[in-house]
C-alpha cells in the first residue's frame, strides 16, 4: 500500500516537474514564433515584393540588354501599369518597342513604317503589366529565392506555361526591380538590366501609342 502511495506521489511529482519544464520552454517557443514573424516582415518577403509590383504605376530607367545572339544593346525604358511599356534603343540600333492596347509593336528604323506586332498576352512580361499582381494567390510564382541583399523571382502563367517565364531580380533597402530576364518557349532569353530608376508621378499616354507612332513615321517617310 505504501509503495502504491509513494508511486502515485512520485508520479504526481514527475508530472509537476514536467509542467514546470514546459512552462520554462514557453518563452523560447514564443521567441521562435516572434523571430518567424520578424523574418516574414523582411523587406524581401514575397508579400512585400508583391506589394511593390502592385503599387508600381510608372517606372523610368536606363537599361542595358543582353540579347540572345550575345550582343549588347542599351536605351531607355518606360513602364506604365497597367498594360504599357516603351523600349527606346540608342544608336546605332534605334529600334522602338511599344506595348499598349494589348499589343507589342516593334518599329525597325531599317524596315517599313508599319511595325511588326504581336499579342502581348503571348509574352510572359504581360504578367507584371496586369492591373492586379498578386504573387501570393495567383499561382504564377514558379520559384522564389532570397539572398542577403537580393530577391530572385520566377513567374509563369500556370494556364499557359508554353508562353515562357520572366525572372525578376529585386535589390535595395526597399526592394526595387533591378533586372529581368524574359525566357521564351523556344529556350531563347533576353536580359534587361536597369539603372538610374525613377518613379515619375505622370507620363504622357502618347509615348505608348502604336497608332500615333505609325502615323508619325508614315508622315515623315
The answer to whether 59 and 77 have CB atoms below 8 angstroms apart is: yes
Q: What pLDDT, on a 0 to 100 scale, did the predictor assign at position 113?
A: 75
Which residue ranges make up each domain of the chain?
1-41, 46-219
Residue 150 β-bridge partners: 171
Quick: pLDDT tens for 126-160.
999 999 999 999 999 999 999 888 999 999 999 99
Give the chain's radius of gyration (CA, Å): 27
Architecture of domain 46-219: Clam (2.50)
Q: What pLDDT, on a 0 to 100 scale, did the predictor assign at position 183?
A: 93
Q: Mean pLDDT over all residues of the chain?
A: 83
Low-confidence residues of the chain: pLDDT under 50: 1-40
Note every long-range contact of 161-166, with CB atoms under 8 Å and residues 24 or more positions apart, other chains counting: 163/121, 163/122, 163/123, 163/124, 164/123, 164/124, 165/124, 166/124, 166/125, 166/127, 166/128
d(CA 37, CA 31): 10
Q: Order of strands across the sheet with 116-119?
A: 116-119, 103-107, 96-100, 84-89, 72-80, 58-66, 189-198, 176-183, 165-171, 150-156, 141-146
d(CA 61, CA 203): 13
d(CA 52, CA 60): 15
User: Which of 121, 117, 130 has its CA nearest to residue 159?
Assistant: 121
Tell me the whole-structure pTM to 2 decimals. 0.78
Q: What pLDDT, on a 0 to 100 scale, did the predictor assign at position 62?
A: 98
The answer to whether 48 and 56 have CB atoms below 8 angstroms apart is: no
The answer to whether 169 and 40 have CB atoms below 8 angstroms apart is: no
Amino acid at each position: 500500500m505504501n509503495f502504491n502511495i509513494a508511486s502515485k506521489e512520485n508520479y504526481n511529482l514527475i508530472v509537476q516537474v514536467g509542467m514546470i519544464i514546459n512552462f520554462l520552454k514557453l518563452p523560447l517557443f514564443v521567441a521562435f514564433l516572434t523571430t518567424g514573424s520578424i523574418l516574414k516582415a523582411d523587406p524581401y518577403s514575397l508579400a512585400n515584393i508583391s506589394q511593390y509590383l502592385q503599387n508600381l504605376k510608372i517606372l523610368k530607367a536606363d537599361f542595358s540588354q543582353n540579347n540572345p545572339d550575345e550582343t549588347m544593346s542599351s536605351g531607355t525604358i518606360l513602364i506604365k501599369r497597367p498594360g504599357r511599356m516603351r523600349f527606346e534603343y540608342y544608336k546605332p540600333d534605334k529600334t522602338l518597342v511599344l506595348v499598349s492596347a494589348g499589343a507589342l509593336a516593334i518599329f525597325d528604323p531599317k524596315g517599313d513604317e508599319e511595325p511588326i506586332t504581336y499579342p502581348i498576352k503571348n509574352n510572359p512580361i504581360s504578367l507584371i503589366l496586369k492591373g492586379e499582381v498578386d504573387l501570393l494567390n495567383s499561382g504564377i510564382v514558379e520559384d522564389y529565392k532570397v539572398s542577403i541583399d537580393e530577391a530572385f523571382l520566377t513567374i509563369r502563367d500556370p494556364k499557359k506555361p508554353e508562353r515562357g517565364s520572366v525572372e525578376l531580380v529585386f535589390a535595395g533597402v526597399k526592394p526595387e526591380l533591378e533586372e529581368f530576364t524574359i525566357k521564351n518557349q523556344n529556350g531563347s532569353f533576353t536580359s534587361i538590366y536597369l539603372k538610374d530608376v525613377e518613379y515619375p508621378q505622370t507620363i504622357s499616354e502618347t509615348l505608348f501609342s502604336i497608332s500615333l507612332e505609325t502615323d508619325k513615321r508614315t508622315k515623315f517617310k
